[in-house]
Structure formats: C-alpha cells, structure tokens
C-alpha cells in the first residue's frame, strides 16, 4: 500500500507540469494575437473612424483633397457620393470614400496664384532681358 501514495504524488506532479506546459505553449500565441491587435487592427479602426467623421463633415463649399490628388470644392453631398468642382465649370461625381482630406484654411499655406509665385517656371525668363 505504500506504493500507491507515491504513485498518486507522481500523477499529481505530472498533471501540474502538464498544465504549466499547456500555459507555456499558449502564451506565445496569446502574445502574438495581442501584438497583432495593438499594431494592426486598432490603428486601422481609428483611421476608419476618422475617415467616417471627415465624410460626415462634407458640405457644399468645403475645399477637399481627393485621394487621387485633386483639389476641389464640394458642390453637392448625397448619401454615398459627392459632386465636386475641380475647376470653374468642371464638375465630377465621386464616392465619399474618394475624398482624402478636408482642406482647412489654416492648412492652406499660400493663396498666391501659381503664376505670381517666385518659383514659377518662366517667371525669371520674362524679367531677365539678357537672355
């Protein structure tokens, strides 16, 4: 009968090691899932919320920058699309998801027409009579 308590202690010791081994095996997977969520999923959710908030702020007269790189003015807002004027008399219809950013007055750096800027090509050619 003395052999049975030793056998029971051995079985209990192996069971304790087995549960620790299982926890040790699952811990890396849990850590990888946590890092994946922190580095990929959470920032993606925040960007989506910001984009949805920006799309809800669209209204006629607002200056926008499209994801295609066009600066435009919102003319009309519908459920899932907007009508934009990219130049006087030129209007395009675009999905709201195609609008990349709203251009706020403080983000517009220079209101000087391109032709009047000092870095405009050909500006120096006209002023310099020596060529």
Report CA-CA distances (Å) from 118 to 105, 111, 130: 22, 13, 19
pLDDT number for residue 91: 93
Give percent of the chain above pLDDT 90. 34
Could you tell me which CATH number the domain at 58-108 has? 2.30.30
Is it the case that residue 109 has pLDDT exceeding 90?
no
pLDDT number for residue 122: 63
Nearby residues of 75 by Cβ (< 8 Å), 6 or more positions away = 60, 82, 83, 84, 85, 91
| Average pLDDT taken over every residue of the chain | 78
Per-residue model confidence as pLDDT tens digits over 11-60: 555 555 555 678 888 998 999 999 998 998 899 999 999 988 988 888 89
Reported confidence tier of residue 72, pLDDT bands at 50, 70, 90: very high
pLDDT number for residue 46: 92
Is it the case that residue 1 has pLDDT exceeding 50?
no
Distance CA 11, CA 59 (A): 72
Domain ranges of the chain: 1-56, 58-108
Per-residue model confidence as pLDDT tens digits over 112-125: 565 666 665 665 55
pLDDT number for residue 25: 87
Distance CA 131, CA 113 (A): 26
């Amino acid at each position: 009968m003395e052999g049975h308590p030793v056998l029971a202690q051995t079985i209990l010791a192996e069971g304790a090691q087995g549960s620790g081994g299982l926890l040790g095996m699952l811990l890396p997977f849990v850590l990888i899932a946590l890092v994946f969520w922190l580095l990929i999923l959470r920032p993606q959710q925040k960007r989506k919320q910001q984009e949805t908030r920006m799309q809800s702020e669209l209204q006629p007269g607002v200056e926008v920058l499209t994801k295609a790189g066009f600066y435009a003015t919102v003319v009309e807002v519908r459920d899932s699309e907007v009508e934009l004027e990219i130049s006087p008399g030129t209007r395009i219809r675009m999905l709201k998801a195609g609008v990349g950013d709203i251009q706020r007055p403080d983000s517009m750096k220079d209101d000087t027409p391109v032709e009047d800027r000092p870095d405009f090509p050909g500006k120096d050619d006209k002023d310099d009579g020596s060529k």
